[in-house]
């Protein structure tokens, strides 16, 4: 799926969410710079850059250079969904994000357990990280179940002329996205920015690598729901 019309990048008006929806490859730059394009996707490029003490024009130039280089490589699982139907977006989110998480979440929990057993006594930070990951995992599992059982069927119906999902359900899911985004930031702090040199052992190094991948996938996952799926559903319902 390829976007047919790409708008020019204007730092003062282009939003991060809109930019990644049109050009998924820009997510790599935002991940590197720590710019929030999922729950903070409504911010303009200028607002996001100012909040991180970055020069918006320089970042806009970096993004344009990416485009001129013809780069289409985004983070793992990044797809251009700008022209996809609601059905296709729901299918994509389930197969590229929800289903893989059913394997990723227990794998990370197991690694966390090993690292806590080996190093928790000397480094309480790994215990806090494991506790927060456990809470986040449990909330995510409930959240994805709710999306698959209630939200996505309602979204598919709207696209076919049915009733819109309730504002209450949408609000609840958006709140969880926000809370998950905050948890990801705290996990990264507890994980020392996931720098391999901060690891106590090889298992810890593998864990930090897995956490980095988990974070990037979840950013893209939330972005696709908040900034691509929900606006399309709202548009179909109006």
Site string for Fe ion, 165-194 (x = CB under 5 A): ------------------------------
Query: Applying CB under 5 A, does 31 fall inside the site for Fe ion?
Result: no
Site string for Fe ion, 197-236 (x = CB under 5 A): ----------------------------x-----------
C-alpha–C-alpha distance, residues 196 and 186, integer Å: 18
Residue among 21, 26, 40 nearest 181 (CA): 40
CA 62 to each of CA 44, 82, 157, 190: distance values in angstroms, whole numbers, following the listed order: 16, 22, 40, 30
CB of 97 to Fe ion, least distance (A): 6
Find out whether 45 and 60 touch, Cβ atoms under 8 Å.
Answer: yes
Closer of 98 and 119 to Fe ion (Cβ): 98
Burial (CB < 10 A; 0-12, 13-18, 19+), residue 28, is: middle
Count of alpha carbons within 13 Å of 2, Cβ hemisphere only? 2
Closer of 36 and 225 to Fe ion (Cβ): 225
Closer of 85 and 150 to Fe ion (Cβ): 150
C-alpha–C-alpha distance, residues 31 and 74, integer Å: 11
Question: In this chain, which stretch among 13-21, 81-89, 145-153, 157-165 interacts with Fe ion, using CB under 5 A?
Answer: 145-153
Question: In this chain, which stretch among 103-111, 120-128, 140-148, 159-167 interacts with Fe ion, using CB under 5 A?
Answer: 140-148
C-alpha–C-alpha distance, residues 17 and 21, integer Å: 6
Closer of 14 and 180 to Fe ion (Cβ): 180
If DSSP codes are grouped into helix, strand and coil, which group holds residue 44? strand
Closer of 217 and 225 to Fe ion (Cβ): 225
CB of 37 to Fe ion, least distance (A): 15
Instruction: Tell me the site size for Fe ion, rule CB under 5 A.
Output: 2
- Bridge partner residues of 15 (DSSP): 44
Closer of 147 and 217 to Fe ion (Cβ): 147
Give contact residues for Fe ion (rule: CB under 5 A).
147, 225
């Amino acid at each position: 799926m390829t976007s047919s019309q790409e708008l020019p990048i204007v730092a003062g008006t282009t939003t991060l969410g809109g930019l990644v929806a049109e050009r998924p490859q820009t997510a790599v730059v935002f991940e590197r710079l720590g710019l929030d394009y999922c729950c903070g996707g409504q911010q303009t490029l200028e607002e996001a850059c100012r909040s991180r003490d970055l020069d918006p024009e320089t970042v806009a130039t970096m993004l344009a250079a990416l485009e001129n280089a013809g780069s289409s490589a985004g983070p793992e699982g990044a797809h251009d969904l700008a022209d996809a139907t609601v059905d296709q977006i729901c299918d994509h989110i389930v197969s590229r994000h929800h289903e893989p998480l059913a394997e990723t979440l227990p794998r990370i929990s197991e690694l966390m357990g090993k690292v806590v057993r080996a190093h928790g006594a000397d480094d309480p930070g790994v215990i806090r990280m494991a506790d927060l990951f456990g809470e986040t995992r449990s909330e995510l599992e409930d959240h994805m179940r709710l999306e698959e059982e209630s939200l996505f069927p309602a979204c598919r119906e709207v696209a076919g002329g049915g009733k819109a999902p309730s504002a209450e359900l949408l609000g609840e899911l958006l709140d969880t996205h926000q809370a998950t985004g905050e948890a990801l930031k705290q996990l990264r702090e507890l994980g020392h920015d996931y720098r391999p040199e901060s690891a106590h052992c090889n298992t810890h190094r593998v864990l930090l690598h897995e956490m980095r991948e988990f974070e990037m996938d979840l950013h893209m996952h939330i972005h696709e729901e908040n900034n691509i799926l929900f606006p399309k559903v709202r548009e179909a319902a109006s």
